[in-house]
């Protein structure tokens, strides 16, 4: 009897072990996600990643290249049971690439996203190499206003950039303030400055709902008279700068954020859904040689909005032979997102259409969550990495699709961002004292491939 019980217990143990083994074989491991780099110093940093259900351990690789062909000793293959790890005794001022995968006995997940990290340099002076001298396959633009076309601004503009955009002085509320009265005073000054200094002008922006004069919003005539007024405005403006302005954002931000539908504006209400098409056609009639762009925000990461732009504007225009030369991605982004891969993927959706791509309003917030009271070296390095990623993406697109990469403001204390988000940020390539920041170096590094 005892022998039978022993056999039964042994059989039960084997059965349970078999169930465990079978269950382990059925388990799948998802890839971790590296979501934070912290404690960044000259020779060390800490990486955190998401915990993976059923994972017993994690394997990490550290390399000096994105392909992980140049692994860094002794971090060729590190195994840890934690969901964070601190790398130490690293080279100063070096860019590293990190990836991690989950493990369960013999099973492993795929590797995580690759995360780039640049260690600090204790006392480094950022190089002052002019951006336009290195960006030989596309224009480097700067947004400005007339009262900054002098002094140190002027010196830096002429040294660094070969294209300028009016931050606000070439919009309808400035150029057409009253019915029947145009005022091109400021726009003329900006165009003259560009011509005197061998720069191109990108016109921004003919139609934008947020820069519409009150008399247009409350237009008292018929819908037909409203359309005639808009036609006169576009043709008058574009004709005035024919041969002087190489490109225009004809319509700005006409697609909403909710579902990629037409934004409800006075132009949509008075002219119907084909108002965008009409504006582009009128601009082309006024200047057959200038480049015509549609421009909008969040397109580098928001697939829904981008699909709305593609279906309602890009595909619609190309099917119906409506003039459209390119699309502008505004590139108001943050140090921690969107990812390089997301930007590249969305950019390709435009370049695959055979259109020019304009990264039109680049700035990179380092304080989007208002967790800083002053800029930190760690965030400045993260900002540098993000700028480098953006430039790498742009530099890698087909040359036939390259137009310009425009930075939206020269120095931090002139950015539009703090006043809009209600707290401090330092999103540009120069600080308030005109000192070159690490973000500027990130731009240069992005052009090295």
Point out the residues that are catalytic: 253, 361
Q: CA 400, 402, 403: angle at the middle one, nearest 5?
A: 125
Alpha helices in 167-208 (DSSP H): 172-175, 185-196
The contacts found for 144-150 with CB under 8 angstroms, 24 or more apart, are 144/190, 144/410, 145/169, 145/186, 145/190, 146/186, 146/189, 146/190, 146/193, 148/410, 148/414, 149/189, 149/190, 149/193
* CA pair distance 155, 149, nearest whole angstrom: 9
Cα four-point dihedral sign 188, 190, 194, 199: negative
Which candidate, 276, 280, 208, places its Cα nearest to that of 217? 208
Which candidate, 336, 392, 341, places its Cα nearest to that of 367? 336
The DSSP element (H or E) to which 381 belongs, if any, is helix 377-396
Which tokens sit at 295?
Answer: 């421009």
Which tokens sit at 190?
Answer: 């900006």
Q: Are 142 and 165 in contact (CB under 8 A)?
A: yes
* CA pair distance 316, 362, nearest whole angstrom: 27
Cα four-point dihedral sign 429, 432, 433, 438: negative
Q: What is the crossing angle of helices 377-396 and 340-351, to 10°?
A: 30
Q: Are 305 and 314 in contact (CB under 8 A)?
A: no
* CA pair distance 326, 62, nearest whole angstrom: 39
- Per DSSP, 437 falls in state P
Q: Are 113 and 99 in contact (CB under 8 A)?
A: yes
The DSSP element (H or E) to which 342 belongs, if any, is helix 340-351
């Amino acid at each position: 009897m005892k022998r039978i019980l022993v056999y039964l217990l042994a059989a039960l143990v084997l059965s349970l072990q078999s169930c465990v083994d079978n269950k382990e074989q059925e388990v799948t491991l998802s890839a971790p996600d590296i979501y934070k780099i912290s404690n960044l110093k000259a020779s060390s940093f800490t990486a955190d990643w998401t915990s993976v259900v059923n994972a017993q351990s994690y394997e990490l690789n550290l390399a000096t290249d994105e392909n992980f062909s140049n692994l860094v000793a002794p971090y060729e293959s590190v195994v840890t049971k934690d969901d964070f790890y601190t790398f130490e005794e690293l080279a100063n001022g070096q860019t590293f690439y990190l990836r991690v995968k989950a493990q369960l006995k013999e099973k492993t997940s795929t590797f995580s996203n690759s995360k780039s990290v640049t260690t600090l340099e204790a006392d480094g002076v950022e190089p002052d190499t002019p951006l336009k001298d290195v960006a030989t396959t596309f224009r480097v633009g700067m947004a400005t206003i007339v009262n900054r076309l002098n002094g140190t601004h002027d010196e830096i503009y002429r040294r660094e950039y070969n294209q300028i955009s009016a931050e606000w002085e070439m919009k309808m509320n400035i150029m057409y303030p009253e019915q029947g009265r145009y005022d091109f005073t400021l726009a003329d000054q900006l165009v003259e400055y560009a011509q005197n200094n061998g720069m191109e002008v990108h016109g921004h922006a003919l139609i934008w709902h947020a820069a519409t004069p009150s008399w247009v919003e409350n237009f008292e005539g018929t819908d037909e008279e409203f359309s005639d007024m808009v036609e006169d405005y576009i043709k008058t403006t574009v004709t005035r700068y024919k041969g002087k302005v190489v490109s225009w954002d004809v319509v700005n931000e006409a697609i909403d954020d909710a579902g990629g539908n037409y934004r409800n504006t006075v132009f949509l209400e008075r002219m119907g859904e084909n108002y965008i098409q009409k504006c582009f056609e009128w601009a082309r009639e006024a200047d057959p040689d200038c480049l015509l762009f549609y421009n909008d925000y969040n397109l580098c990461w928001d697939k829904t909005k981008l699909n709305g732009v593609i279906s309602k504007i890009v595909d619609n225009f190309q099917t119906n032979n409506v003039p459209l030369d390119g699309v502008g991605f505004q590139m108001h982004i943050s140090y921690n997102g969107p990812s390089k891969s997301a930007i590249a993927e969305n950019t390709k959706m435009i370049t695959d259409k055979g259109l020019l791509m304009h990264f039109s309003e680049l700035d990179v917030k380092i304080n989007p969550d208002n967790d800083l009271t002053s800029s930190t070296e760690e965030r400045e390095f993260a900002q540098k990495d993000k700028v480098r990623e953006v430039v790498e993406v742009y530099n890698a697109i087909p040359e036939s699709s390259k137009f310009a990469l425009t930075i939206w403001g020269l120095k931090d204390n002139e950015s539009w961002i703090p006043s809009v988000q209600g707290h401090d940020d330092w999103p540009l390539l120069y600080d308030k004292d005109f000192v070159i920041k690490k973000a500027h170096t990130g731009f240069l590094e992005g052009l090295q491939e």
